[in-house]
Amino acid sequence: METAPAFSELPVGLKSALKTEALRLGFSLFGVTTPSQPATFPVYLSWLTQGRHGEMTYLSAQRSIDRRADPTLILPEVKSIIVLGLRYPRPVDLPGPADIGLYGRVAAYAWGVDYHELIPPRLRELAAFIQEKTGGTVVSKGYSDTGPILERDLASRAGLGWIGKNTCLIDPQTGSYYLLAELFVSMTLEPDTPFQTDRCGSCRRCIEACPTECILPDRTIDARRCISYLTIENKGSIPIDLRPQIENWVFGCDICQQVCPWNLRFAAPAFASDLNPQPNKASPNLSTELHLTPQEFNRKFKRSPIQRAKRRGYLRNVAVALGNSKSPEAIQALAETLQTEAEPLVRAHAAWALGQIGGQDSRTVLEECSQTEADQHVLTEIQAALNNLSNPL
């Protein structure tokens, strides 16, 4: 069995060549770190203990915890970890309607192709480049938000930036609109100097701008209150007290990045053309979206990150956004959904939305549906909506 080369045995200039190749593949950030335990691991354990991961139970599985503490359990031969960053456009660079109206908002990273399709092939290309340069002796394993890795910690340790108060990795030159990826390799590359400076200073813009107050003092997020979690990872009902704060976000949220000075002060970023970001994907027409059939949903969001929410979750979010619009123009779409939609989760949130909009038309629909609805959870939402109409704040 051949042994992977140590740093002293590697071809001269290999790390520089790797960085050049990574740039060619579309990665604007490149750094190298060791596979030692991440410094933020104790914070991660505390976060789990307090239940701030919500329903993401895969994060608290012992196998997952062990691998986050010790990256060598992921790849026993690992000697170095290459950390990469792929930029995506800021919302300001591809603007769409931002008024709450009857338009929704989608997090900028989801305006194009799912990065889970885009990044892995590029990691394989980089791994093949390493094999070519080292004579095929290097074992590697790539990840892009798909494995038990504290990737922002690794990225900071690889010199790519610091972890901001909003928990995002921030590069001082280009901001935080990045998709991170890692390539574990069985060769010893010279590690980069960790990024030590906290450049957030006394700034609290992200904390103060967060509608649900989910950003915590230890630079973690209470996922149970985060709009991104609520609209994507959360598969059930959105807590009633948080629905108004979601405003018109229907998939993810960019608020804590949009207000960050490190994102506001820079020119329009370059990004991989293969992401194919489309402004029309940023602000969907809510009334139209609410009527998407399963086939239409799958066709429209093929190869899109929005598939992760699934149709029922996405339409649930759309219903909440329509309720937050307070627009009587939304009543017809919500009424039709409450009357005919097959998914109880969507009907339940449509009932809530009608209660938020109010008026006699909403009351009539709710009263009629209270006589025909068979699902108890939906009936509870209908009754709560009717009570809201009878006893407005």
Task: Confirm whether 66 is a catalytic residue.
Answer: no
Question: Of the residues 70, 93, 99, 145, which is catalytic?
Answer: 145
Lookup: tokens for 23:
């740039």
* Max CA separation in the chain (angstroms): 78
Asked if residue 75 lies in contact with residue 54, where contact means CB atoms within 8 angstroms, the answer is no
**Residues comprising the chain, all counted:** 393
Residues 81 and 183: their CA atoms lie apart, in Å, by 6
At a CB cut-off of 8 Å and minimum separation 6, what does 382 contact?
338, 351, 366, 369, 370, 373
Strands across the sheet with 29-33, in order?
29-33, 80-87, 178-185, 140-143
C-alpha separations of 351 from 208, 237, 347, 362 in Å: 31, 12, 6, 9
Angle between helix 360-370 and 344-357 (nearest 10): 150
Query: Residue 163: in which H helix or E strand, if any?
Result: strand 162-163
C-alpha separations of 134 from 32, 112, 143 in Å: 17, 35, 21
Residues 290 and 288: their CA atoms lie apart, in Å, by 5
At a CB cut-off of 8 Å and minimum separation 6, what does 318 contact?
104, 250, 284, 286, 289, 290
Q: Give buried/exposed letters for 371-393 (b at 16+ CB in 10 A, else e).
A: eebeeeebbebbebbbebbeeee
Lookup: tokens for 259:
């207000």
At a CB cut-off of 8 Å and minimum separation 6, what does 81 contact?
32, 33, 34, 35, 71, 154, 158, 182, 183, 184, 185
**Active site members:** 145
